[in-house]
Amino acid sequence: MRREHIEKSAAEIAAQVRSGRVSAAEIVEETLAHVDLVDGALGSYLTVLADAARAAAVRVDERVRGGEQLPLAGVPLAVKDNMCLDGTRTTCGSKILERWIAPYTATAVARMLDAGAIAIGKANCDEFAMGSSCENSALGVTRNPYDPARVPGGSSGGSAAAVAAYEAAVGLGSDTGGSIREPGAFCNLVAFKPTYGRVSRYGLIAFASSLDQIGPLTRTVEDAALAYDAMAGYDPMDATSIDRPVEATASALREDLRGLRVGIVREFDTKALGPDLDRIYRQAYGDLERLGAEVVEVSLPTAEYGVATYYLIAPAECSSNLARFDGVRYGLRVEGNDVRAMYDKTRAAGFGPEVKRRILIGTYALSSGYYDAYYVRAQKARTLIARDFAVAFEQCDLIACPAASCPAFQFGAKSDPYSMYLMDYYTIPMSLAGLPALSVPCGWTTPADGNLPMPIGLQLCTPLFGERLLLGAAHAYERATNHAGARQPVLDGVRA
């Protein structure tokens, strides 16, 4: 199968389309042919938008011929299926929305399309973005392109797999506690969660409103910066959107880290991850130092409470947000003898086990007599975690730590909720503090239960609104190490 253009970065694709060396229509046809070839086995997409993509490509080519300098001209885009795209099936990976058609387009998606990107399809995800493996989708299984016997990570697993397998050049994901960064680490990608409120949540079907944030998954840091620059900015349709000027990032990428202080978190001891991962992360910290950074130790003493804090706040907000799915206004409706029976039957049939579990946890945490003991205390702990970051950033410019505690695991390997929840141990604290953070490939390890090397991600984090510094530093690390380019996905034997 010819992949002449679609293996290129988004920046390279857009430059070729703008120059006229290749048309957006050609890019789309090559992408769709490749999706037809591999996605039946990988399961990245829940819905492929072939006709709409072809029509969009014609419009992009017309705009380019008209002189528009579109930063993402012709770039194939995977849209996580919890983001609305007008006229498309938008399911959140749930039976309760399996046949729902979105009547409008999310702001972040619209801005990507305005910049010239072309939506290839709606990507699979854990149901309502609740999960760390993409195993909780009610509508299909997504496999890791580097080992189809393993998960792609979650909840943005479909977007990650699509980008890793060249079914898109950019994937849009949502990150609540690590749902962009972890699948990025599992699939050898750059995976970027901006500052909370930097990218509009309008049109993102809410899981936990004080935590959810949209961001890109890409094969290069430059592509992540281009996507962020296209999406970021104030949106009056989103009450949590921040009205503050956005600094361009794609034009300010760095080649070294001279003058920067990088904090290594004392409490995040990588020896606990085993000798191979410990070696990889120590090598990564050393690479940061060799690039000119001053490496210092910092402390986040309350970070260990992040998982417990998150799994009170996020389920509480989930309980509130998902109350709207009752069979009355939209989505699945299962008839009953009365309204109460209809509610019960609809939600029992429409929600999967993990969503039900989190609704129950959240409802309990918000219930009379327990609200102060659980939800209010969790919010106080969240404040302490944010304060710890503020103190740490007095001593450093950015923080480096693991993006995940292990490489991609086999399906069913973490079937109990507790072990699955711990997958977000390193990513949750940044989410609770609202900080920008990303995962960038930092090495490869062969799991004990497999024979294929799997990627590992280094997480970098900066203070609020530090996206320019964050992406710049990640670019310097990426260019100096090129871990992502060490191996290709296993696609030759993957066929629909």
pLDDT digits (tens, 9 = 90+) for 374-383: 999 999 999 9
Q: What is the mean pLDDT of residues 298-311?
A: 98
Residues in Cβ contact with 141 at an 8 Å cutoff, skipping those fewer than 6 apart: 43, 134, 135, 411
CA atoms of 456 and 324, how far apart (whole Å): 38
Angle at CA 430, nearest 5°, toward 308 and 368?
35
> Residue 11's pLDDT band (boundaries 50, 70, 90)?
very high
Given a cut of 70, is residue 494 above it in pLDDT?
Answer: no
Q: What would the DSSP string read from start to end of 243-299?
A: -SPPPP-GGG--S--TT-EEEEETT--GGGG-HHHHHHHHHHHHHHHHTTPEEEEE-
CA atoms of 287 and 439, how far apart (whole Å): 15
Q: Show the tokens assigned to 442.
A: 């930092």
Please give the C-alpha separations between residue 154 and each of 59, 170, 343, 424, in angstroms, as whole numbers: 33, 16, 29, 10
Residue 395 has a pLDDT of 98
Query: Which class for 350: exposed (0-12), middle (13-18), buried (19 or more C-beta within 10 A)?
Result: buried
Task: Give strand pairing partners of 76.
Answer: 118
Q: Which of 425, 422, 429 is nearest to 389 (CA)?
A: 429
Residues in Cβ contact with 372 at an 8 Å cutoff, skipping those fewer than 6 apart: none
- Mind listing the pLDDT tens digit for each residue in 129-157? 999 999 999 999 999 999 999 999 999 99
Residue 4 has a pLDDT of 87
> Residue 491's pLDDT band (boundaries 50, 70, 90)?
confident
CATH architecture entry for 10-255+409-486: Alpha-Beta Complex (3.90)
* Mean of pLDDT over the chain: 97
DSSP-assigned letter for residue 133: S
The helix, strand and coil proportions of the chain, stated in percent and rounded to the nearest 5, come to 40, 15, 45
CB 74, CB 58: distance < 8 Å: no
CB 299, CB 388: distance < 8 Å: yes
Delimit the domains of the chain by residue range.
10-255+409-486
CA atoms of 13 and 453, how far apart (whole Å): 29
Q: What is the mean pLDDT of residues 30-39?
A: 97
> Residue 330's pLDDT band (boundaries 50, 70, 90)?
confident
Q: Show the tokens assigned to 316.
A: 């509480």
- Helices 306-321 and 377-392 pack at an angle, to 10 degrees, of 130
Please give the C-alpha separations between residue 485 and each of 126, 164, 255, 437, 442, in angstroms, as whole numbers: 28, 12, 18, 22, 11
Residue 496 has a pLDDT of 46
- Mind listing the pLDDT tens digit for each residue in 184-241? 999 999 999 999 999 999 999 999 999 999 999 999 999 999 999 999 999 999 999 9
Name the percent of the chain lying above pLDDT 70.
99
Q: What would the DSSP string read from start to end of 100-119?
A: -B-SS--HHHHHHHHTT-EE
Residue 329 has a pLDDT of 86
- Mind listing the pLDDT tens digit for each residue in 431-478? 999 999 999 999 999 999 999 999 999 999 999 999 999 999 999 999
Q: Tokens 């409706």 — which residue?
A: 333
Given a cut of 60, is residue 1 above it in pLDDT?
Answer: no
**Catalytically active residues, by annotation:** 80, 155, 179
Q: What is the mean pLDDT of residues 115-136?
A: 98
DSSP-assigned letter for residue 204: B
Q: DSSP strand E in 420-469: where?
A: 437-445, 454-461
Instruction: Kindly calculate the radius of gyration of the chain based on its CA atoms and give it in whole angstroms.
Output: 21
Given a cut of 90, is residue 2 above it in pLDDT?
Answer: no
Given a cut of 80, is residue 177 above it in pLDDT?
Answer: yes
